[in-house]
């Protein structure tokens, strides 16, 4: 839905500029989310038998009518985390600090 528009009657707020969802009147309450298209990145993740490459999805979502916006990072089934956008900079900074400990 285009930014600034309310597509359906249940919307408490217009879609944010990043929302790509086509909302429907019949959307179940659980699905009433504003979401961006996200992006996918192949990453090596730890596995008991070694490293395994998985497609991780990184996306933004916010439940309609709420104030918190979340960044989802995960493979869609087994591994995932959803972080409040206000905390993302701290997480990225911590990751860079950990990475710096590896040296050169
Ligand atoms: Zn929306």
How many structural domains are present in the chain? 1
**CA atoms of 19 and 37, how far apart (whole Å):** 8
Closest CA to 69 of 1, 4, 11, 17: 17
* Nearest Cα residue to 71 out of 36, 19, 46, 97: 36
Range of the domain at 94: 1-104
pTM, full prediction: 0.84
Q: Ligand 1 centre and the CA of 21: distance in Å?
A: 5
Q: What is the pLDDT of residues 70-95, one digit of tens each?
A: 999 999 888 899 999 999 999 999 99
Percent over 70 (pLDDT), the chain: 94
Separation between Cα atoms, residue 91 and residue 69, nearest integer Å? 15
Burial class of residue 69, CB neighbours in 10 A (0-12, 13-18, 19+): middle
Distance 70 CA to ligand 1 centre (A): 14
Q: 52-65: per-residue pLDDT in tens?
A: 899 999 999 999 99
| Mean pLDDT, rounded, of the chain | 92
């Amino acid at each position: 839905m285009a930014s600034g528009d309310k597509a359906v009657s249940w919307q408490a707020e217009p879609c944010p500029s990043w929302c790509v969802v086509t909302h429907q009147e019949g959307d179940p309450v659980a699905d009433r989310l504003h979401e961006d298209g996200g992006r996918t990145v192949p990453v090596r993740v730890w596995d008991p038998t070694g490293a395994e490459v998985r497609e991780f999805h990184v996306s933004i979502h916010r439940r309609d009518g709420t104030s918190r916006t979340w960044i989802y990072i995960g493979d869609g089934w087994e591994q995932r985390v959803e972080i409040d956008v206000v905390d993302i900079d701290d997480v990225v900074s911590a990751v860079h600090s950990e990475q710096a400990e590896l040296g050169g």
